[in-house]
Amino acid sequence: MAPFVIALYVVVLVLMLLVLLSAVVFLTPFVLPMFGRGAPYVPSGRRTTERMLDLGELKPGERMVDLGSGDGRIVIAAAQRGAQAHGVEINPWLICFSRMRARWTGVGTRASFRCGSLWAEPLGAYDVVTVYGLGPIMGKLERKLEAELKPGARVVSHAFHFPHWLPVKENDGVFLYVMKNGRP
């Protein structure tokens, strides 16, 4: 085989390995949360975001947290309503994007984002908690919310129910729960 052909094979092989490595590095943070730690990144539409904040009756000055905040759209919309909004997201790429979006939209002082697990986030200080979690995590999350949220705190879930709670209100796949003495 000619040296040129061998060199071409080596270049193609190296390029294929670089593409594979890039895919692993950039896609892992989007896929990893599905394996028992949370949910995959699925952006909420504008109407769903507004429905979640409306159903949660979010008021200016209240503190809210979005567990698994993705690209930050719920946090930013909450900050635009005057809330002190916080997002917790395990994907560092989405955290960077969320912070940039918050600055671009002018709510950087009312919207903050932390890269980390929703399981490590203390929730006792929040008035409203929003979540789009898959069914398998909802039981564990239910116990965490019961243990940490104060009476009157509102939990808004998109698409998935908590296994032992009955929603106070429901609007097109968005569910509202209000905490009373450790349970809704």
Q: Give tens-digit pLDDT for 158-167.
A: 999 999 999 9
pLDDT digits (tens, 9 = 90+) for 3-23: 776 777 677 677 777 666 665
Q: Are 83 and 59 in contact (CB under 8 A)?
A: yes
Torsion of CA 28, 31, 33, 39, to 10 degrees: 150
Average pLDDT in the 54-74 region? 97
Domain map (residue ranges) of the chain: 3-33, 46-178
Q: What is the mean pLDDT of the chain?
A: 88
Which region among 7-16, 49-58, 146-155 has the lowest average model confidence (pLDDT)? Answer: 7-16
Interatomic CA distance for residues 120 and 65, integer angstroms: 13
DSSP, collapsed to helix, strand or coil, labels residue 19 as helix
Return the H-helix or E-strand segment holding 49: helix 46-55
More confident residue, 4 or 82: 82
Residues 6 or more apart whose Cβ sits within 8 Å of residue 156: 52, 53, 55, 56, 128, 129, 130, 131, 174, 175, 176, 177
From residue 109, alpha-carbon distances to 46, 75, 104 in Å are 22, 12, 12
Stretch 78-102: mean pLDDT: 97
Cβ–Cβ under 8 Å, residues 110 and 85? yes
What's domain 46-178's superfamily in CATH?
A: Vaccinia Virus protein VP39 (3.40.50.150)
| Token representation of residue 96 | 């960077």
